[in-house]
Amino acid sequence: GEEGAGSGHDRPGTGELRMGGGPLRCWVVTGTPARVLQGWTALTGAPALPPSWALGPQHARWGFGSEHEVRRIVAGYRERDLPLSALHLDIDHYERHQVFTVDRERFPDLPGLAKDLRTDGVRLVSIVDPAVRADPGNAVYASGAAADAFVRDARGRPVRGVVWPGECVFPDFTAPRVREWWGALYEERLAQGFSGVWHDMNEPASFAPFGDPTLPRSSRHDLEGRGGDHREAHNVYALAMARAGYEGLRKLRPDERPFLFSRSGWAGMQRYGGTWSGDVTTGWPGLRASLSLVLGLGLCGVPYSGPDVGGFNGRPSPELYLRWFQLGAYLPLFRTHSAIWAGRREPWEFGPRVLEHARAALVERERLRPYFMTLAQLARLTGAPYVRPLWWGSSADRALRDCEDAFLLGDALLVAPVFERGGDRRAVRLPRGRWYDTATGQTHEGPGQVLLDAPLSRIPVLARAGSVIPVRGADGGLELEVWAPAAGRTGGGVVVRDAGDGWEKAEVERFTTKLVKGRVVVEQVVDGDAGPPRYPVRVRGIEGGRQS
């Protein structure tokens, strides 16, 4: 039957849950937002830790037509001094859109391409759809049919639908043996040189002239051996697919952290990777919705997510593209993407002024990469999202709870995107404490509302007084950016250095800050003892940057 939930907006203080059948089990977690997320993580699993490169800028498009075009795009980034960590290939790199294949005419040497790009610091990421073309000549179909891997109807016949490759069948990921079979297929993707995957069309989607655009509700699933129909399996289908992919990649490359994100998911999706907005509509409302999506997913236990920067299905104006790009630079998954008919998304396609400002956003993202890595490690340890609502530390503040157009990045930064055409100033509501404008150094006191400049070149970003932010220094090494605490107040922060893209246990390093006779004192705390920090320190927010 149909399921649904309501937050009780028409009846304050109430909620409503509707379900058509099956057991209902409830857990109630109370406390601060941080405690609630920690409890939710204990129930549904700790977030997967992305490899460090997946926290850098990524670029995608449905419509990269050939190996030559991919090389041209990456060269364009490098020639313009634009950082790039990964490039994504969509369904058009497949042979007739069939999963786990390659169009040899357009991509004659995909492993060689991947090797060359990796030498240049760029990883390849592959789309993976669950639908398998029902063709005996298709090796994946033949293998799955032999393994009895596909969803069946009540009469025992494989359920068929129509997706990009044509008539397709669908793996039953709710069966452990099918997950193992599917996970082993990722060996082909690794052999082609891909470093990660993004799961698409995995609700699962099926093009249908009538009815639900998915599998029939009567479709039969294994459901871990107890059996059931698609009404029960639908919500967990993408979650089970993610598990198959993640476990397969771990088995194939045990020394590397898998990179996987998905269009669909369910409670616990964070165990295997992240998610993204899907085909968000190009436009100012789509830009605003992008932030709501990331905030909401973070509060649902999925800390790694992001939108299609620029929107998926339309041609953004240069201003809209830039404002979206500036927001994306502060979100966990920072990826441009678009449909084949929706124009290009390379920064240089929008004119020299946009290119200049986009470069600044990319450079700042790279400078903040150690901070993002720290937030990723903390998310795994505590469940706390990278992107947090302004009320994260003040959940009783109704004014902050009503503010949905700005966010906290960790504890240290407050980001205020621009969501309106022509906007060059915007009001920002501040949580309690002193905040510094990172562009001008101007101080603001919270709680309260302030009006900040937001020229086209940047969006307002504020730093919390007393915070310690790990950043990439001019020499490429780790540096501590310290924002002076207010008089009579202390501060601090943590740094979690990533030992690489493997499974080495990371060390959590703690730092404290205080203001003593006009000097900022920064100390590293180890086993209860305070001493000088092991990293270079740059103090901001105080004249001369005095530090001891």
- Residue 48, C-beta contacts closer than 8 angstroms, at least 6 positions apart: 246, 257, 258, 260, 270, 271, 272, 273, 274, 304, 380
Q: Where are the alpha helices (DSSP H) in 403-461?
A: none
456 vs 251: CA distance, rounded Å: 47
199 vs 101: CA distance, rounded Å: 15
For residues 469 and 461, is the Cβ–Cβ distance under 8 A? no
Structure tokens at 65: 């037509």
The catalytically annotated residue of 103, 279, 366, 501 is 279
Active site residue 200: yes
CA dihedral 248, 250, 254, 256 (to 10 degrees): 130
Angle at 298 between CA 292 and CA 302, to 5 degrees: 125
Structure tokens at 111: 């492993």
What's the first-to-final CA gap in the chain, in angstroms?
65
339 vs 316: CA distance, rounded Å: 12
Q: Where are the alpha helices (DSSP H) in 45-162?
A: 67-79, 110-119, 139-146
Active site residue 203: yes
Would you tell me how many other CB atoms lie within 10 Å of the CB of residue 253?
16
The catalytically annotated residue of 200, 308, 411, 481 is 200
The catalytically annotated residue of 67, 203, 308, 501 is 203
Of 463, 465, 469, the residue nearest 481 (C-alpha): 469
Q: Residue 213 pairs with which residues in a beta bridge? A: none
- Element of type H or E holding 287: helix 284-299
Would you tell me how many other CB atoms lie within 10 Å of the CB of residue 472?
16
Structure tokens at 256: 């590397």
Would you tell me how many other CB atoms lie within 10 Å of the CB of residue 515?
20
Active site residue 543: no
For residues 468 and 522, is the Cβ–Cβ distance under 8 A? yes
Would you tell me how many other CB atoms lie within 10 Å of the CB of residue 317?
15
- Which string of DSSP letters, residue by residue, matches 499-512? --SS-PPPPEEEEE
Fill in the amino acid letter for 332. Answer: P
Catalytic residue set? 200, 203, 279
